[in-house]
Amino acid sequence: MADRPALQIVRSDGTVARVTIARGDITRFSADALVNAANSALAGGGGVDGAIHDAAGPELMAELRARYRGCPAGSAVVTGSGRLAESGVRYVIHAVGPIWRGGSRGEAEQLSSAYRSALQLAREVGARSVAIPAISCGAYGYPLDAAAAVALRVVAQELETPGPLDLTTFVLHSAETAEAFSRVLSLRLDRVGDVAEGGERS
């Protein structure tokens, strides 16, 4: 699972946070927390949601049912990681994105809120690294380039806040999604003048 170029963010306390992109299976990615692209019922499903539940085992659903009664679009909740703990994952953050309905029904705001809520929870539980999928880009139909622009903007903004969270990796399953996110990341790198191969800032 090869990393792509990274956007580096120098924070007010002098620390540096990074946003990177990798293509692969998020359930095989080593991070303190994984973000799950959940549905509002927190009922499990297909795609990333199903893969994370399969890898984490039934204890993940048991904790969701015991602690929560759903989660509206734009929000997120956090649980333990079930059997993913064997891979070093401590938390699963279940973020609910919007269903794409043409773009005029608050989808961008809800998608922004889903990413923001997920990263705020990651900070609250003390995660230093987070692996995150392309929320709403599967069955929910959000256009890839538009979703990538929202995702990278919000994550970069959230990482400006000093704290334990210093690495967010978008782990994307399909080549098409990875290319869309890479295009948007490259535009951001060109705009801010950051060339971040191997963790160096130029």
- From the list 184, 173, 105, 183, the residue with the least C-alpha distance to 137 is 173
Assess contact for 110 and 129: CB atoms under 8 A: no
32, 49, 190, 194: which is the annotated catalytic residue? 49
- Between vectors from CA 134 to CA 84 and to CA 77, what angle results, nearest 5°? 55
What is d(CA 97, CA 113) in angstroms, rounded to the nearest whole number?
8
Alpha-carbon distance of 63 to 82, in angstroms, equals 9
d(CA 40, CA 63): 16
Q: Is 49 a catalytic residue?
A: yes
Eight-class DSSP state of 102 = S
Return d(Cα 138, Cα 144) in angstroms, integer: 9
Give bridge partners of residue 172 from the DSSP assignment.
Answer: 23
Q: Kind of pairing, strands 33-38 and 129-132? A: parallel
Under 8 Å between Cβ of 125 and 78: yes
**Which are the catalytic amino acids?**
49
